[in-house]
Structure 1
Amino acid sequence: MYGSKRKRRLHSVAVLLGPLSFGLTILLLEWFFGFKAAAALGTTVWMALWWILRPVNISVTAFVPIGVNALFDLIPMQQVISQYFSEIIVLLFGADLVCLTWATTGLDKRLAIKTLCCIGTSLRQQITVWLLVATVLSIFLPNVVVCTILVPVAVSMLQFIGEENIKNSKLAVPILLAIVWGAGIGGFGSPLGGAANLVAISYLEKLTGQEFMYIDWVVRFLPLLVLVLLLNLFFLFHLPVPVKRLAGTSEYFKEMYAQLGTIRLGEKISLVLFAAATLLAFIRPLYAGWLPALKPAYVFLIMGLLAFTFEDEDGKALLTWEFAEKGVMWGMLFLFAGGLALGSLVTETGAALKMAEAITLLPLTGGLETVFAFTLFSTVLTEISSNTAAAAIAVPVVQSIAQALGLNPIPYLFVAIVAFNSAYVLPVSIRAIPVSYGLDPAELFKNGLLLSLCSVLLITVVGYLFIRYWPLFSTV
């Protein structure tokens, strides 16, 4: 009885901390930010606390922006509501439909065993491969597509070796973090890494009056990408884990894979749908001129819809709506959308611009402190919104402040680009995907916060050294 009362009391405290922190944030910040912007930041604090303490399901927290906006009319409601069925949500829904066929056909087991055969059972080897694959793929594909492709495969592998409860699995933490962090940092490896980079390029081209070639981007950012990647790898290697190897041996899994026999018709169709969606997303630049509306989101949705029309080798439907209705990760869709809605509140109320205004009050001279301020500003923005929204705000702000200080803005813009592609802490944007599959938000917050601090310091120091001693970093 005592234990249950204490549990109810702690639950009540956790529930109340959300709205109380919202009100306290407004009281502390309204004098500088104004009511609406302070309320947007208060919403961020509220959601962060509920995501960490979890007095309600993390997907329920995703609807807080709607409730807050309905009560206080911070921005037009359509700008909030539209985030709950945006293009990214369509992509996640379509990918979820495609991946559901893995369970109905047995492809999930085949992929899991094959992954274990190819990567091996050493946990460090697993971490390294997942991190590298996610990073490399996100250089060429949007990071949300990369996470959508890799996370279900990794989860299937983990569940196959007995880690059924991903939420309580210590082995799942480094592997899922390797995927989502790799997909994030790989974004600045090339302009193809996401819309945020294209925003940055548009400003750079207007600033210089010349085209910024993709090869020029790669040359300037590759050294920083390697260093950030090594930092991530070092951090992941030092996470506490119960074992150094996954259950089983490579020989055992190779033998088990052989016992599966020849791939069946249903598995083939499921694999083709998944591979076709991934390939079409990858080669989009080749057909974008002819099919400008066929973006990766709609490719995955089309493949997901096609899954309902096919039958397996036994004449059974590859996917039925009854199964999809139960199997679709609705929580993931809402969690991702909630992060987008939060980003809309932060940007549209002017909270982000007021944060930028605070930077102008600092005694900046163009040295190490300036690089740190720009890095921290861009990192915080991308943590509480999306990297595209962060780019749209950070790039013009960094440019204008650098020019006001009489500095060449180009190297400082490069530093900001790296920073708004390096987010690790809150289950916002792509970090919502592994959390929806079971990764504990507290693990994401605890590990991500420390890595984020290290990342800010690394980007600051290396960026400053590049500005001082690498002339190519200051030109386009």
Structure 2
Amino acid sequence: MIVGALMLQLPLPDGLSQEGLVVLTMSVVATILFVTEPVPLPTVALMIICAQVLLLGIDSTNVAKSLMTDSVLFIMGSLMLAVAVVKQKLDKRIAWWLVRITGTRTSRICLGISVTSGVLASFIGEHTVAAMMLPVGITLITLTSADPKKVRNLAAVLLLSIAYGCSIAGIGTPSGGARNAIMIGYWKEFFFDPTNPETYRFLIDYMKWMMFAYPIFLLQLPFVTFILFKTFRPEQHDMSRAVVKLRAQVEIEGAMKRADWMAIFLFFLILIGWITISSDIGMGTVAILGAAAFLITGLVRWEDINSGVNWGVVLLYAAAISLGVEMKNTGAALWVAEYFLALLAPLGADEGFGLWTAVSALTTMVTNTMSNGAAVAVLGPIVLKVASAAQESPIVIGFITAISSAFAYLTVVGTPACTIVYASGYLKTTDFLSVGWKMVLFSTILMLLVATVYWPFLGV
């Protein structure tokens, strides 16, 4: 609050309007509150909403309209689906299916965990899959040894396979994370004009997003296991004893029930809907329809969704997107973009590959201090204006920002998946630093390589 009050007293910089200064101040204060969390994060959302009315003089009805976009509906529906999927408790069956395919070698099991976590997380969100797969990892650890000290490195490899598998997969599809939906919303809000056919390329649908981002996720998968095994040396190279115990537990549970098959069927219908009709009716509508289907079939109760969904997260992303739109409308985003370019110019990083690298580094730094969704919500309007000012493709810069926001490997709070596996008690905060810097370096190089070699074939 003190920082905000001081900023509002500063002389108005050249090229920035009074409204732009107010919005910029709101963004800085919101970022500080995101990082330090002196109040619950949904409180920040409420403050953003009120500030738009009180400080900018925007009609409250118009502020309310800006909060409910298709991107916000999509985030809300995805969180509802996450609760429905976790409710089915398929963790032991997933573990058994996994080891039947991979065998008992520790390295192959870890790769299998990364692949399974990744493929699932790319469609239903990393926090959901991390919550589903954590019991799988803990089951394999405890069946190997009841003494955590004897499986210290094994636990690190197994659990970080889940966390990083989920993190790298979150970029794969729009439903992989809120940050993806936020960037899609920004492209539409900033660049789409229904009267101009040339701007229809900024309407990024489910399949088009996958064409850009999914190859990066797939290329990273085998290297996750390699980097983890080079950093942590597991005590056991074969997990046969744990697999035998796991098989016995699955046999006790018996065959899959009708509700299990129905849940799988509904999820595939939702996935097909995202791929085929989301460009016509919106990804948010498909997600809400899916959540309604789980409720109608009785696979989940409203009480479960009401208690399981973090409604504060929905409010937070809605307010962040609304603030991002005001960053554009008041010219604050353009002013920051031009200032950012001026700083990069002496370094030769104000265009082309240098700009890509600078945007990626900035996003990676920010996303390791706050949630990746919040990072994209804050940086999105700025980097898209940077792209326009530098005559770079906003689609390329937008994808680099969204994908780099997944490189939160260094801290426990960087991604929901890292927070969830850390909560198991098997990991230390230093474990994330030990392996995280290697993951950041590799992921950044791979993304820039794909952007240089592959993306031009997609017409950008």
TM range (shorter): 0.5 to 0.7
1:288 shift after superposition: 5.7
Q: 1:393 aligns with which of 369, 381, 388?
A: 381
Conserved 8 A contact 2:422-2:428? no
The equivalent of 2:42 in structure 1 is: 62
The equivalent of 1:417 in structure 2 is: 399
Structure-1 separation of matches of 2:314 and 2:235: 32
Structure-2 separation of matches of 1:338 and 1:185: 20
Q: Which runs of 5+ in 2 are unaligned?
A: 14-19, 147-151
Map 1:17-416 to 2 at 5 A: 23-24=2-3, 27=6, 31=10, 34-50=21-37, 60-67=40-47, 69-70=49-50, 73=54, 78=64, 82=68, 86-102=73-89, 107-119=90-102, 124-136=107-119, 141=123, 145-147=124-126, 150-161=129-140, 173-187=159-173, 195=181, 196=183, 206=198, 229=221, 232-233=224-225, 235-237=227-229, 248-263=241-256, 267-269=257-259, 271-284=260-273, 285-286=275-276, 295-308=285-298, 324=304, 328-330=307-309, 332-335=310-313, 337-349=315-327, 352-362=333-343, 363=345, 364=348, 366=351, 368-376=353-361, 385=373, 393=381, 396-403=384-391, 409-410=392-393, 413-414=395-396, 416=398
SS where residue 87 of structure 2 aligns?
A: helix
Conserved 8 A contact 1:121-1:247? yes
- Give the 3 Å change call, closer, same or farther, for CA 359–320 of structure 1 in structure 2: closer
Conserved 8 A contact 2:320-2:378? no
Structure-2 separation of matches of 1:277 and 1:394: 39
In structure 2, give the amino acid aligned to 1:184: G
1:154 shift after superposition: 0.3
Structure-2 separation of matches of 1:124 and 1:334: 39
Identity %: 16
1:356 shift after superposition: 1.7
1:430 shift after superposition: 11
Structure-1 separation of matches of 2:84 and 2:240: 30
SS where residue 425 of structure 1 aligns?
A: coil
- Give the 3 Å change call, closer, same or farther, for CA 366–301 of structure 1 in structure 2: closer
In structure 2, give the amino acid aligned to 1:64: V
Length-normalised TM-score, structure 1: 0.62
1:421 shift after superposition: 1.8
In structure 1, give the amino acid aligned to 2:129: L
1:120 shift after superposition: 5.4
- Give the 3 Å change call, closer, same or farther, for CA 205–231 of structure 1 in structure 2: farther
Conserved 8 A contact 2:95-2:136? yes
Conserved 8 A contact 2:337-2:383? no
In structure 2, give the amino acid aligned to 1:42: V
In structure 1, give the amino acid aligned to 2:385: V
1:463 shift after superposition: 7.0
The equivalent of 2:17 in structure 1 is: none
Q: Deviations over 1:83-128 (max 9, x none)?
A: 99744223312431343243xxxx4544444445445566644443
Map 1:2-13 to 2 at 5 A: none
Structure-2 separation of matches of 1:353 and 1:297: 33
Range that drifts further, 66-75 or 177-186: 66-75
- Give the 3 Å change call, closer, same or farther, for CA 37–366 of structure 1 in structure 2: closer
In structure 2, give the amino acid aligned to 1:78: A
Conserved 8 A contact 1:352-1:393? yes
Range that drifts further, 275-284 or 91-100: 91-100
In structure 2, give the amino acid aligned to 1:297: A
In structure 1, give the amino acid aligned to 2:323: L
- Give the 3 Å change call, closer, same or farther, for CA 455–282 of structure 1 in structure 2: same
SS where residue 160 of structure 2 aligns?
A: helix
Length-normalised TM-score, structure 2: 0.64
1:250 shift after superposition: 2.3
1:238 shift after superposition: 5.5
SS where residue 185 of structure 1 aligns?
A: coil
Conserved 8 A contact 2:359-2:400? no
The equivalent of 1:10 in structure 2 is: none
Conserved 8 A contact 1:74-1:345? no
Q: Which runs of 5+ in 1 are unaligned?
A: 1-21, 309-317, 404-408
Conserved 8 A contact 2:110-2:161? yes
- Give the 3 Å change call, closer, same or farther, for CA 474–36 of structure 1 in structure 2: same
